[in-house]
Amino acid sequence: MPIFKFINPKNFLLFLSSIIIFIMIYSSFSVKVTNINISIIIFVIALNIFTTFLSIKINRYSNKAFFLILILISASIYFLWNIYALTNPVSDYRILLEGADKISKGIFFKESFDKSSYFYFYNYQIGYTVYLAAFIKLLGYKLLYIKIAEALCMIATSITIYKLVEIISNKDAAAIASILYAMYIPNIMGSSVINNQHISTLLLCLSLYFMMKSTTKALLFAGILLGFTQILRPIAAIIIMGFSIVYIHRMLKEKSYYKYFKKYIIFLIAFIIIVKGFDIAVIKSDISPSPISKSNAKYFKFVLGLKGSGVYNIPTENARKTQVYFDLKTLNFDYNRYNEECIETIKNSLVNYKTTVPFLINKMYHFMGYTDNQYNFAITKDKINNYIFTLIKAGNVQYIFLLICALISLILKFRNENKDIDLFSLLVLGFILIHILIETQPRYRYEIYVFIHMLTGEFIAAVTSKYSLSYSNFYKSNSF
């Protein structure tokens, strides 16, 4: 193949995504391989093989039967984990529920208008708090109902992953990706935690599904759903950038400028209307003094991401009295001064690159490779016994297995003659790159899990197919 045919936007971005996933694998092996015995590795691989073949066989026999089994397995696993964990909200999750209770009673403004309050400097959290308040208003302050809703969101996410993979690949790949996602141990351990990642990931996947459909009406729905995703968890910028790259590339390739431009504008307008509409709603109802789409503490995530501590290096005491709180307290909660100090701190971090770069390498090494810490918020220390440690190790093996499969899937995509940019590998790249600059924790990989499961489903389906090992039938073009 002539080199000028090989080098194109699709292959260039696939190459970057492959490099990122290779680094993730390297980080994972370096951090996780110790203390994992061979029996756990054999068990995880055997379980994946068994699950794969069973899923394909059932799904080929009956799509409805597969969905029923997927729902039953997911519901059973989440139920059993919740029974064992008996998770009580801690840290930020407790504060969000307390805030939701205050919204339901009409007294939230006493906190949200207070410049020293958690909900003033982390005002982007108000979106999910309003969502929780709706449950409390309708059903009372009962964690059971909210946890059931969280589990339903996770089950619906698995089904949506199936539908997404079916569009870009085939039913075998869709079944594999969805069942492996449902059985992913770190997510199972997080299923008892009431947090915004469950509902926001469902909305994100639904938005992506409509993006792939790409009709005018579908992109309208995609924009609406992504708007609600942004309200609950502000990650839409990454999705919009990825979608824009893919969509503009397709528009230029096909030279259908008006058709693509019109649909793209509809998508963006729908997104903006939802976000701005919610801003107006929370201001008019005295839930927030200002738009939640505009952070009052604008740059704190970059300060923590580039420096590892707040502006004045005062450590966090608890979820309410964080490094951001103490920085603001030092400045008498003058947000303009705080934002200016943050900018100066960011500038200093960039100037002092000899200190910053090693910190960033170490930070990303742990973000990409360290054990997902969702379980820390799910169970108390007295419940972390040898069985739980074994599950955590099995989850680590699952993660490495998925990354290896995802990497091979990306490499094989180079062989596909279609020149369309792969959106989902691009989103893996985007989520990793943005975290170079901002605060990280291993549990912030949550959205990335969706995309590596999709890539894994494509690869395993190609390997297990009895019809073809050329992979050309398994990597369809994105349906834009």
Whether the per-residue pLDDT at 30 is higher than 80: the answer is no
Q: What is the dihedral of CA 439, 367, 380, 36, to 10 degrees?
A: -170
What the block records as the tokens of 455 is 């890539």
Contact 455, 410 (CB under 8 A): yes
Q: CA-to-CA distance for 249 and 258, rounded, in angstroms?
A: 14
Q: What is the pTM of this model?
A: 0.92
| pLDDT tens digits, 202-246 | 999 999 999 999 899 999 999 999 999 999 999 999 999 999 999
User: What number of other Cβ atoms are within 10 A of residue 337's Cβ?
Assistant: 13
| pLDDT tens digits, 394-418 | 999 999 999 999 999 999 888 776 7
Q: CA-to-CA distance for 360 and 341, rounded, in angstroms?
A: 21
Whether the per-residue pLDDT at 442 is higher than 50: the answer is yes
3-class DSSP state for residue 107?
A: coil
Rounded mean pLDDT, 451-456: 96
**108 vs 6 pLDDT, higher one:** 108
Rounded mean pLDDT, 22-51: 81
Whether the per-residue pLDDT at 448 is higher than 90: the answer is yes
Query: Residue 1 — pLDDT band, cuts 50, 70, 90?
Result: very low
Rounded mean pLDDT, 345-361: 94
Residue 426 neighbours by CB under 8 Å, 6+ apart: 13, 17, 242, 245, 246
Helices 353-369 and 335-351, interaxial angle, to 10°?
100
Residue 87 neighbours by CB under 8 Å, 6+ apart: 192, 193, 194, 377, 378, 379
Q: CA-to-CA distance for 15 and 379, rounded, in angstroms?
A: 39
Rounded mean pLDDT, 168-187: 94
> Per-domain residue ranges for the chain?
1-85+142-193+374-480
Q: Residue count of the chain, please give it.
A: 480
| pLDDT tens digits, 282-337 | 999 999 999 999 999 999 999 999 999 999 999 999 999 999 999 999 999 999 99
Rounded mean pLDDT, 456-478: 63
Using alpha carbons, list the distances in angstroms from residue 299 to 290, 291, 411, 437. Answer: 17, 16, 37, 11
Whether the per-residue pLDDT at 480 is higher than 80: the answer is no
Alpha helices in 285-385 (DSSP H): 300-307, 323-330, 335-351, 353-369, 375-378
pLDDT at 4: 45
